[in-house]
Amino acid sequence: MISVCIIAKNEEKWIAECVSHLKPLATEIIVGDTGSTDRTVPLARDAGARVFEMEWEEDFAKARNRTIHEAREPWIFSFDADERISNRDLLKFTQTIEQIHPQSDIEAIRIHRRNYIANPLLSGFVPCAGDYPEEKMYAGYYKEQMIRIFRNLPHIRWQGKVHELIDRSLKGKTYESNLTFHHFGYLPEEESRRGKTRLYQEIGKKKLEDDPNNWKARYDLGSEYIQGGEIEKAILELEKAHTLNPREPMILSNWGYAVMESGDFAKSEKILRECLVMDSNNHDGLLNLGVNFMRQNRNEDAVKTLETLVAHHAQSFLGFRNLGLCYIQLREFSKALNRLQIALQIFPQYSDAKLDLAAVHFILGRKDMAAAQVKEVQNLEPENQRAFEMQKQIGES
């Protein structure tokens, strides 16, 4: 009943296990190779996939559509080599599709993807809590919902050269599921291996050549520029995205962040306040406004903003950590200890918060407790320079 369709290029690290683990779910597994120079093709074939080769035209939607054209089953699951379904959830995917199949008015199934990442500062970061074995030793993830499972119908096709979507081509209903799968392609080693940021930037620019009034494409490109540290380019694209869609808070929160990174705190504050007029409890809007105040040493304003943040987002370890820093500056050390301890309850591996906590203990004359916190960080991150400097400071005092 299910055709799993994968596009791949130089995925020898991932492809064999990917194909093998999907066999209990799929009637057929199709791999469209876009020019691998490694062992992706033979490994995929040996694992049991039907493989064909195609030219890469710098268009993810076109490549995905070419692959689903080969599908023979009534349902398609569009998948990537660096994605996985937990063994415990494979049957749930099968049962859900079988349940939906007789309901002809439903054309697609929306599912949840966990994107594992190493940087806790990225928007939406959630610390791993051992819910799945796939979490392994990863720091955390961010979640997104997407349509990846859909009927094999001629009108259902991917659109967009990059950050491609199937949604616009649907004519029927979408079933909102609680199915979860896992993605490992945003981890630092994978981003570096593939040069993803630069690739997405280049394809994103070509996408805008075809559709210059696509606000989401401009937002995506601006976000890629932020990831790549190209702040001025990010500001330009996000401002254009806001002009095209002035009622979208996520544009304003990212634009305000980029402007803050450029050093224009007044303009950043104005943009972030506009975001909060639209959505008064917007997590990133409140967080970025609080950080904006912190960078100007407006710690009382930062505390007011960040306390509002954590009142509405009780799992915001970044909010609690930044509150700890503000209270240190205000010399309210008991409050600083409390907020930092809450941050670490939410995210126990948060090294920066551990070192902040060590700093408070040191200020209060608790050298042994400070040293213990520093040691914890060094055990996790032997190369952490801040921990090394603090160890030296504690030893010399």
pLDDT tens for 122-175 read 888 999 989 999 998 788 999 999 999 999 999 999 998 888 899 999 999 999
pLDDT score recorded for residue 187: 76
Phi/psi region, residue 56 (left: phi>0; alpha: psi -120 to 50; beta: rest), is: beta
Closest among 38, 44, 33 to 66, alpha carbons compared: 33
CA angle 30, 35, 41 (to 5 degrees): 45
Give the global pTM. Answer: 0.82
In contact, 193 and 126? CB cutoff 8 Å: no
pLDDT in the model for residue 294? 97
Q: Are strands 106-117 and 28-33 parallel, antiparallel or unpaired?
A: unpaired
What pLDDT was estimated at residue 263? 96
With 0-12 / 13-18 / 19 or more C-beta atoms within 10 angstroms meaning exposed / middle / buried, residue 335 is middle
All structural domains of the chain, each given as residue ranges with its CATH number in brackets, are 2-192 (3.90.550.10), 331-397 (1.25.40.10)
Distances, alpha carbon 89 to alpha carbons 100, 145, 178, 259, in Å: 17, 17, 11, 42
What is the 8-class DSSP label of residue 82?
Answer: T
Q: What pLDDT, in 10s, does the model give residues 373-391?
A: 999 999 989 999 999 999 9
Kindly state the average pLDDT of the residues 267-293: 97
Confidence bin at 195 (pLDDT 50/70/90): low
